[in-house]
Amino acid sequence: MLNQSKREVFTTFLVLGLYGFGGPTAHFALFRKVLAEDRGWISAEAYDEYLALCHFLPGPGSSQMAAVLGWVRAGALGAVIAMTAFALPSVVLMAGAATALPVLPDDLAQGVTSGLLAAVAAVVAGAAISMLKAQTGRVWALVIAGGAAAGLFMAVYSGLVGVLVLQPVLIAAGALAGLVLLRREPGAAANAPARPALPAGGWAAAAVFAVLLVGLPWSAGAHDALALADSAYRAGALVFGGGHVVLPLLQAELTPEPVAQDVFLAGYGLAQALPGPLFSFAAFLGAAAGDDPAPALALAALGAIMIFLPGLLLVFAVLPIWSELKTRPPAQGAISGAAAAATGLLIYASYDPVLTGLPSDWRVWAMAALAFAALQAAKAPPPLVVAVCAILGAAFL
C-alpha cells in the first residue's frame, strides 16, 4: 500500500497529465505554478535549480521534472510514481488510437491520416525553426547544427552510411565539438538545493543506463519486441533539444517495418493534440506494430516504458552530483553541442520523412501551409491545429 505522500504524488500528476497540453515549456510553467507556488512542495528557487537539471539531461524534460518533484515529495519511489502518473493518460490514449485507426472505414481513415500528415508538417517545421532560433547568437552552435543536417543529407543521398548509424554518431560529435567550442564560464551555485543523499542509487542507475544502452542493440535481432525496446530506449537516451527529436530517431528504425510511414507520421501528429509528454508516441508505435489487440497493448506498454526509462535513470544518476556538475563549463559545453546537433537532425527530419511523406494532393499541401501559418503567425495552440486538420481531412480528403 502506498502511504499518503505517494498517493498524493500519484493523484496530482495523474490530473496534471490529463490537462497538461502545450509541450515541455507549458508543462514546466504548470508544475511551477501548481507545485512550487500554490502547494509549496518546493521553493521557487529550488524549482528553478532543478529545472536547469532537466534542461541539462537528454530525455523527456517535463517527465524528468515530474520525477524530480516526486522524489522531493515522496522519495525514490515517488519519482517513479510521478513520471508514470504524468505519462499514463497520454500513453493510454495513444495506444487506444493506434488500435482504433485500422478499424475505421478506409475513406475516413485515409482522410484523417492525410489531415494529420499536414499538421505534422506544420508542427515539425515550426519546431525546427524554434530550435534553430535558440542557437542564434552562437556561431559555433549554428555551425554544429548545419553540419549535422548536411551530414545526414549527404549520407542518405550518397548511400554511404545509413541514418540509423549516423544519427547517434552526429549527436556524440556535436557533444565533443561543444566541449571545445561552446564552453561557458563557471556559474555561481547560489540558491542551490541540498545535494540528494542517493550516491549508491546514483551509481546503480548510471550502470543500468549504460548496460541497457550497450546491451539492447546486441539482442534486438532476436525478437520484434526486443527490437522495439532497443529503438525506444536509444531514442529516449539520445534526445537532446526537445521531444520533437524523437521523430528522426524512431523513424529511422521503425519504418517502413514494423510501422508503415504514413501511420508513423499520423500517430506523431495525433500526439501533438493530446495532453502529457510527447514521448508517449512510443506507445502508439508499439500498438501499431502489434497484429492483434493483446500483443498490441503489450507492445504499447513496452514502448512507453523503454522510452521513458533512460530519462528516469539519468535523473537518479545525476541528482547526487548535480550541485557540482552544473557549474562546470565542459559539461555545459558538451550538452550545448549535443543540442545543436539535435537541431540539425530535426532540420533534416522536417524534409524527410515529413515533407516527403505528404500525399501529392494539393489540398494536403495547402492545409499544411495554412496550419503552419496558424501556428507561427496566429500563435494557435498545436492541439487545436491538429484537431482541425484531422476533422478537415476526414470531411474533404
DSSP 3-state percent helix, strand, coil across the chain (nearest 5): 80, 0, 20
Q: Which residues, 6+ apart, have CB-to-CB distance to 387 below 8 Å?
A: 273
Count of structural domains, the chain: 1
Q: What are the φ/ψ torsions at residue 161 (nearest 5 degrees)?
A: -135, 140
Q: Pick from 347, 392, 356, 354: which is nearest to 374 by CA? A: 392
Q: What pLDDT tens digit does each residue of the chain (397 aa) get?
A: 678 889 999 999 999 998 786 677 678 878 888 898 888 998 877 787 787 677 778 888 889 989 999 999 998 899 999 999 999 999 999 999 888 877 667 677 678 778 877 887 887 787 778 767 777 777 888 898 888 888 888 887 776 666 656 777 887 888 888 888 887 655 444 444 444 444 567 888 999 999 999 999 888 877 889 999 999 999 898 876 566 777 777 887 787 788 888 888 888 888 877 888 889 999 999 999 887 888 889 999 999 999 999 999 999 998 877 766 666 777 778 777 877 887 787 788 778 777 877 888 889 899 999 989 998 888 887 778 878 888 898 888 7
pLDDT digits (tens, 9 = 90+) for 71-101: 999 988 999 999 999 999 999 999 998 888 7
Q: Pick from 168, 98, 221: which is nearest to 341 by CA? A: 168
| C-alpha span between 99 and 109 (Å, rounded) | 12
Please check whether residue 190 lies inside any domain of the structure: no
Cell of 105: 472505414
| C-alpha span between 291 and 298 (Å, rounded) | 11
Please check whether residue 135 lies inside any domain of the structure: yes
Please check whether residue 191 lies inside any domain of the structure: no
Over the range 341-373, which residues count as b (16 or more CB within 10 Å of their CB) and which as e?
A: bbbbbbbbbbebbbbebbeeeeebeebbebbbe
Please check whether residue 45 lies inside any domain of the structure: yes
| C-alpha span between 204 and 11 (Å, rounded) | 28
Domain holding 349, by residue range, is 4-184+196-396
| C-alpha span between 243 and 130 (Å, rounded) | 13
Please check whether residue 189 lies inside any domain of the structure: no
The DSSP call for residue 105 is -
Cis peptide before 258 (omega within 30 of 0): yes
| C-alpha span between 277 and 20 (Å, rounded) | 8
Which residue in this structure is represented by grid cell 505519462? 87
| C-alpha span between 337 and 174 (Å, rounded) | 5
pLDDT digits (tens, 9 = 90+) for 176-229: 888 888 876 554 444 444 444 445 678 889 999 999 999 998 888 778 899 999
The DSSP call for residue 59 is S
pTM for the structure as a whole: 0.73
| Dihedral sign (CA 130, 268, 274, 18) | negative
